[in-house]
Amino acid sequence: MRKRLLSILIALLFLLTACTGTTVSENTVNYKTDSSLELHFIDVGQGDCILVLSENTSMLIDAGTKESGHKITEYIKSLGIESLDYFIGTHPHDDHLGGAAKVIREFSPKEVLMSDELSDAYFYEELLETLYKENISVTVPEIGCRYREEDFDFKFISPYESFGDTNDNSLVMMIYFKNTNMLFMGDAEKSVEEKLLEEEELKADVLKVGHHGSRYASNYDFLRAVEPTVAVIQSEKGNMYGHPHEEAIERLGEVGANILRCDELGTIVLKCDGEKIYYNEEELIKKEVITQISYIGNKKSHVFHRDTCGNLPKESNSVKLNSREEAIILGYSACKGCNP
Ligand SMILES: [Zn+2]
Ligand SMILES: [Zn+2]
């Protein structure tokens, strides 16, 4: 019965649209009193929830867990906001869409953008039922389509095709605000990063780090292309996955990013004037990029590691490698633990 209901709802609600790139918010509402763009990484524990606010546009990317639904709606209301222009659901996991039904009920977004990745979990059924009751349809965005708002543009840059994994099928989005870019990775990991490297201009001032700081995301080549000034990680202190993983933190540090973590700082608000990014009124300056990294190969297994990896071979099996490229030319494959 529930399965049948779910498929009926999906048929009724989901619209596949061609790219028009039109503006949604012909707003009389003023969300802010100045012309900056604000990113509110709302502390929802182990989950994602980001409020994007410009003078004329409000957008929520993901809505945390079901338990955090109340906190999210109260937070948004505390800013004097009564409605949302956009709700974007990156992928149907309960740490991203758990609180979405409540958000939809409270703020009736003008446009709901979600991928066609589906779920039969309870929170997802509740979300679809709520959308149906509120008479709001779901737009499946065309990847590569640039939406133009009055104050900023945004574009979904992944997934062009299925990666066969719900996390990797996350909607990945870039916001373009004056001379700054902001990249939101959802829970996408390595295969998505590799695909993006082939296809997209990835440079971004702000990176919402993929998959709560998992070691399987935020790989070097990708981070070198993004070169973020600030990287924000949304995860909960003491979570069962150990997010964020040490290896991801190290790699982010090595590309010079300022790392801000909700598990340490609670809700994080970044402000952008179109040139610079500010946290607590202070301008964030890119840190020094560490270029000298050494790699250690295991002569026996032909796996290579970063020299800080916990899984280094014993001295007699070790060989020093000068670069990643050298390791690959010599036939070494990358350690799955340290992702060199
Ligand atoms: Zn997640
Ligand atoms: Zn996920």
Which amino acid is present at 72? Answer: I
Q: What is the pLDDT of residue 182?
A: 98
| CA of 46, nearest ligand number | 1
CA 79 – ligand 1 centroid, Å: 25
Output the pTM of the full model.
0.87
CA 202 – ligand 2 centroid, Å: 22
CATH number attached to the domain at 2-283: 3.60.15.10
CA distance 309 to 291: 17
Q: What is the pLDDT of residue 291?
A: 65
CA 93 – ligand 1 centroid, Å: 7
Handedness of CA 189, 194, 200, 204 (dihedral sign): positive
CA 139 – ligand 2 centroid, Å: 20
Listed residue (211, 245, 175) closest to 46, CA to CA: 211
Joined together, the tokens standing for residue 192 give 């998505």
Q: What is the pLDDT of residue 23?
A: 63
Q: What is the pLDDT of residue 16?
A: 75
Given a contact cutoff of 8 angstroms between Cβ atoms, the answer to whether 148 and 155 are in contact is no
CA distance 203 to 181: 7
Residues comprising the chain, all counted? 340
Q: What is the pLDDT of residue 288?
A: 82
**Which residue's entry shows tokens 């610079």?**
276
CA 284 – ligand 1 centroid, Å: 26
Percentage of the chain surpassing pLDDT 90?
76
Digit-coded pLDDT (tens) for 21-30: 666 656 667 8
CA 222 – ligand 2 centroid, Å: 20
Q: Which residues of the chain have pLDDT under 70?
A: 1-2, 18, 20-28, 291-292
Q: What is the pLDDT of residue 311?
A: 87
Q: Which residues surround ligand 2, an ion (CB under 5 A)?
A: 93, 167, 187
Q: What is the pLDDT of residue 172?
A: 98
Question: Where in the chain are the domains?
Answer: 2-283, 295-334
Q: What is the pLDDT of residue 329?
A: 87
CA 69 – ligand 1 centroid, Å: 15
